[in-house]
């Protein structure tokens, strides 16, 4: 009868490093999978919600906007993050259109409006505010929300052409007995955020898909153009 004996000590010494290496590889594979899953959850779960309003400073006694007045817009961009990864705002792109009431009433205007079909009616929209913000420094905590507040002033000194258009639209609203806050607005937001802890590309010329993994882009509204 042949009996199986125990392995020689030298055989165990040879297998121990192999087993240790295998364990380490399995651990790293598990961490990589978990890392990928948590990043993917951010891409599929984060949501943006933005609001906009316009107020008018220095109105004349009749309620119209004078040449030394200010049309001030407030935009709040909020990202809700229901995942375990925190986020960092990178860029917020914004546009606000005002409905061009004089043009819709049949008055000739020389400004550039955007026609928008609404059933059998054409709405005319004027781009009053547009730009981007890259310096908010706002973070979105894990399982929380973060808001970028923007305050945008429009004056004759800053942009005479756009101010004159807004002045004309608001003046027409006043002449029709309307409150300036009832002038319809359209808001477009496109914001990008970096996912904290996700591996960054090692080169500024890295393929776009590598950047897309560590950054999310969220939008709200329709971009009607300039």
Tell me what the mean pLDDT of segment 11-22 comes to: 48
Residue with tokens 């005002």: 98
The pair phi, psi for residue 31, each rounded to 5°, is -65, -40
**Coil, strand or helix: which one is 133?**
strand
In the beta sheet, which residues pair with residue 91?
192
For residue 42, pLDDT beyond 50: yes
Please give the residue that has the higher pLDDT: either 22 or 85: 85
Summarised one tens digit per residue, pLDDT across range 29-39 is 443 544 545 55
The answer, yes or no, to whether residue 150 has pLDDT greater than 50, is yes
Helix (H/G/I), strand (E/B), else coil: 120: coil
The predicted structure's pLDDT at residue 215: 84
pLDDT for res 12 = 46
- Does the pLDDT of residue 198 top 70, yes or no? no
Q: Please state, rounded to an integer, the average pLDDT across all residues of the chain.
A: 83
What torsion do the CA atoms of 113, 128, 48, 116 make, to the nearest 10 degrees?
Answer: -10
Element (H, E) at 73: strand 70-81
Mean pLDDT of 176-181: 95
DSSP string, 120-164: TEEEEEEEEEEEEE-----EE-TTEEEEEEEEEEE-TTT-HHHHH
What pLDDT does residue 14 have? 47
Length of the chain equals 226
Report the pLDDT value the prediction gives residue 24, as an integer from 0 to 100.
Answer: 38
pLDDT at residue 18 in the model? 47
Asked if the 46-220 domain carries CATH number 2.60.40, the reply is: yes
What is the Cα–Cα distance from 76 to 45, expressed in whole angstroms? 20
- Dihedral (Cα; 131, 116, 111, 101), 10-degree rounding: -110
- How are strands ordered across the β-sheet holding 47-57? 47-57, 70-81, 144-154
Pull the structure tokens for residue 104.
């819709």
Question: Domain residues of the chain, as ranges?
Answer: 46-220
Tell me, what's the pLDDT at 30?
A: 42
- pLDDT tens for 78-123 read 999 998 889 999 999 999 999 999 999 999 999 999 999 988 889 9
Residue 191 scores a pLDDT above 70: yes
Are the CB atoms for 147 and 77 separated by under 8 Å?
yes
């Amino acid at each position: 009868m042949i009996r199986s004996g125990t392995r020689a000590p030298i055989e165990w010494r040879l297998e121990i490093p192999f087993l240790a290496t295998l364990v380490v590889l399995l651990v790293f594979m598990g961490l990589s999978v978990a890392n990928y899953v948590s990043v993917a959850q951010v891409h599929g779960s984060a949501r943006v919600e933005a609001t906009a309003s316009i107020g008018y400073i220095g109105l004349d006694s009749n309620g119209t906007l004078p040449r030394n007045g200010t049309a001030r817009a407030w935009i709040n961009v909020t990202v809700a993050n229901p995942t375990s990864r925190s986020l960092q705002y990178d860029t917020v792109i914004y546009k606000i259109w005002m409905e061009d009431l004089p043009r819709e009433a049949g008055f000739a205007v020389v400004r550039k409006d955007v026609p928008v079909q609404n059933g059998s009616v054409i709405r005319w929209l004027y781009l009053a505010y547009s730009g981007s913000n890259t310096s908010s420094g706002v973070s979105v905590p894990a399982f929380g929300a973060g808001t970028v507040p923007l305050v945008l002033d429009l004056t004759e000194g800053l942009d005479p052409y756009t101010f004159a258009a807004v002045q004309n639209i608001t003046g027409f609203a006043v002449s029709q007995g309307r409150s300036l806050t009832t002038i319809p607005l359209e808001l477009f937001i496109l914001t990008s955020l970096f996912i904290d802890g996700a591996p960054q590309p090692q080169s500024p010329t890295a393929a776009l898909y590598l950047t897309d993994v560590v950054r999310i882009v969220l939008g709200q509204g329709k971009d009607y153009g300039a």
